[in-house]
Amino acid sequence: MTSNLTFEELGLSADILEGLLKKGFENPTPIQAQTIPMLLSGERDIIGQAQTGTGKTAAFGLPIIERITPGLRKVQAIVLAPTRELASQVAEELESLKAKRDIRILPVYGGQGMDTQLRLLKQGVDIIVATPGRAIDHLKRKTLKLNDVKFVVLDEADEMLNMGFIEDIETILSHVPEERRMLLFSATMPSAILNLAKKFMGEYDEVRMAAKQQSAANVEQVFYEIQEKDKLRALHRLIETEAEFYALVFCRTRIGADRLASKLSGLGLDVEALHGDVTQVQRERILAKFKSGHATILVATDVAARGIDINNLSHVINFDMPDSPENYVHRIGRTARAGKTGKAISFIVPGEWRKLQFIMQLTKATINKAFLPSGQEVIELKKKAMKEQVFAATDAGISQEFYNLAEEVLASGKPKQLLASLLQLHFGGHLNPNAYPEIREPERPVFNSRHNLERRSYSKPPTRPFGKREQAPVHSGKAPFRKRKNFVH
């Protein structure tokens, strides 16, 4: 979404405007339209609330490029980002925005060769884009000096706090001048962010963009209600029955991502896992493999997926549901890009129904309930896909050698048997109905007028009843624990 203003009206210089025109940028996004004039003319700090993909980098990058001194070769601005991928992406974007100005920009993060960073820092740079950990490393080595910093930018501040970088951020801020200008950008504004602002920022202006409450119009959104233990089988069944499957699968934890990727790989699928424990070299290799199509499934955590830009994903799978509506919108927005359509699938396990309702309410999205295909439906769909694959191969053309071989084989007089044999050799045991046992849907808990939970199909009662609190009987250890008769299930 863009504004009605032009970049020229925002007060940018002619050389910067020329560079933007070459990039094809004519009108600023809403956050750029609000932030750029404030940074160019004012002196107050800024808190900006906007999600990834709204043009935040240009919003703070263009004014910084305008206001720092070219060729000084001292760090005049430092941008802190939570992940290596995002730091690299921000540095590349700033490089493309500086036009022909003599400004050196250096990304600094773990996984890069330290010798290269040391050499470039010694030669002098004007803007540093760093992950907090690597910035701390250079401060300890005294190879990074922040005495001349005029701008400090915290990009994706909420994610940095979630990742435990608060102490590193405080350490870095203790090395910059008190008169620096601080810019804080975050998709959400939890209390921890506001506390950070009160502690380290002076008087500040706020720029708040309306959250992307409306999820992508080109994304078909569905959910399946299943038991936790059935998630893997359900995902495998969908992979085998969806016409196209080039997907990003979200897990809640690093361990969960590794475990799921390992199990999918064991099923013969081309899959990779991406999370915070992956080194930068591994990360680049994994993303290159996924973007080239050599891996068709990428299992990732939310933090690790930040900064990934892939335009042709067919599916986004919420294998584990996100913790907030904002994260849900951010996840599913990775499919249906560039005018294409996509599909977002969520697995809802017992206890997550209210979370789903909350997401639908805040995002104003219609998320339809879907039902997993039965084993027989899977078989029929696979038969159809096999026929289409055979017919497509026929249309692609067949060399004369295979025609000659076909004539020799058909000379036996058993064409139907021979064709069936070839299909079985090629497709193996894909039509075995025993491979697709029934996946039962859990019954959803309901609430009566007293707000007491009625247990329908759960094996364990809640730890305490909903409604009036009761004093649990004390277990002495001498006799078996016995439930009170009036304990509400």
User: According to the model, what pLDDT value does residue 363 have?
Assistant: 82
In this model, does residue 401 exceed pLDDT 90?
Answer: no
Which residue from 18, 78, 441, 474 is spatially nearest to 229, judged by alpha carbons?
A: 441
State the average pLDDT over residues 170-196: 88
Choose which CATH entry (3.40.50.300, 3.40.50.1110, 3.30.70.1380, 2.40.110.10) describes domain 8-208. 3.40.50.300
pLDDT band at 405 (very low <50, low <70, confident <90, very high): confident
Which of 165-174, 336-345, 475-484 is the least confident region?
475-484
In this model, does residue 301 exceed pLDDT 50?
Answer: yes
Specify the higher pLDDT residue, 234 or 476.
234
In this model, does residue 54 exceed pLDDT 90?
Answer: no
pLDDT, tens only, 28-40? 988 899 999 999 9
Choose which CATH entry (3.40.50.10860, 3.40.640.10, 3.40.50.2000, 3.40.50.300) describes domain 219-372. 3.40.50.300
DSSP state of 156: T
Task: Tally Cβ neighbours within 10 Å of residue 77.
Answer: 28
User: According to the model, what pLDDT value does residue 216 have?
Assistant: 59
Kindly state the percentage of the chain with pLDDT values over 70.
85
User: According to the model, what pLDDT value does residue 482 have?
Assistant: 40
State the average pLDDT over residues 24-52: 87
Is the whole model's pTM more than 0.85, yes or no?
A: no
In this model, does residue 392 exceed pLDDT 70?
Answer: yes
> 344: number of CA atoms within 13 Å, CB side?
27
pLDDT band at 370 (very low <50, low <70, confident <90, very high): very high
> Among 72-81, 340-349, 387-396, which range has the highest average pLDDT?
72-81
Mean pLDDT for the chain? 82
All residues at 6 or more sequence positions from 16 whose CB lies less than 8 Å from its CB, including other chains? 7, 62, 65, 66, 97, 99
In this model, does residue 468 exceed pLDDT 50?
Answer: no
Q: Could you check whether 8-208 and 219-372 share the same CATH topology? A: yes
State the average pLDDT over residues 100-122: 92
pLDDT band at 65 (very low <50, low <70, confident <90, very high): very high
State the average pLDDT over residues 276-305: 88
Q: Domain coordinates of the chain in residue numbers?
A: 8-208, 219-372, 376-435, 445-489
Sequence-ordered alpha helix ranges (H) in 245-373: 254-266, 280-291, 302-305, 325-332, 353-363
Which of 75-79, 188-192, 294-298, 360-364 is the least confident region?
188-192
State the average pLDDT over residues 101-107: 96
Which residue from 464, 429, 79, 73 is spatially nearest to 267, judged by alpha carbons?
A: 429
User: According to the model, what pLDDT value does residue 419 have?
Assistant: 78
For residue 242, CA distances in Å to 74, 238, 245, 314, 378 come to 54, 6, 6, 10, 10
413 torsion bin: left (phi>0), alpha (psi -120 to 50), beta (else): left
In this model, does residue 272 exceed pLDDT 60?
Answer: yes
Specify the higher pLDDT residue, 153 or 160.
153
User: According to the model, what pLDDT value does residue 320 have?
Assistant: 96
User: According to the model, what pLDDT value does residue 233 have?
Assistant: 93
Q: What is the CA radius of gyration of the chain?
A: 28
User: According to the model, what pLDDT value does residue 211 have?
Assistant: 52
In this model, does residue 196 exceed pLDDT 70?
Answer: yes
